[in-house]
Amino acid sequence: MSNTTPHQKLKHQQVQYLEFLSSDTQKAKAFYIQAFGWSFTDYGPDYTSFEGDYVDGGFTTGEPLKGSILVVLYSADLEQSLENVIAAGGIITKEIFDFPGGRRFQFLDPDGYELAVWSL
């Protein structure tokens, strides 16, 4: 999934890793594979990680805490991303709207985390 080396991702005072709590890591993994094509590496039954070009992350077993942070993903095709999220079972909380930097929508994933997807 990543085209960068681990050291190329390390930028001073920038987000490098996001870790989510999940009540069901396999369900979370299936959602993100279907919605966004992410790939995962499992580290035992309670942890799975993903790797991207700009940020890495993981899901660990635990009770999700809704509203603690809004993760915003970029999309080159916002409408297709919206369709993918819906097809994967995401719940749209804010339909596509304009804002000064572009357009975006927000959704809930299977654990109830709210995320946003934006585009120019």
Binned at pLDDT 50, 70 and 90, residue 6 comes out as low
For residue 4, pLDDT beyond 60:
no
pTM (2 d.p.): 0.78
Half-sphere exposure of 32 (CA within 13 A, CB side): 23
* Distance, CA of 73 to CA of 28 (rounded, Å): 16
Over its C-alpha atoms, the chain yields an Rg (Å, rounded) of 14
- Angle, vertex CA 80, rays to CA 106 and CA 52, nearest 5: 75
The answer to whether the beta carbons of residues 9 and 48 sit under 8 Å apart is no
Please give the distance of CA 29 from its chain centroid, rounded to a whole number.
10
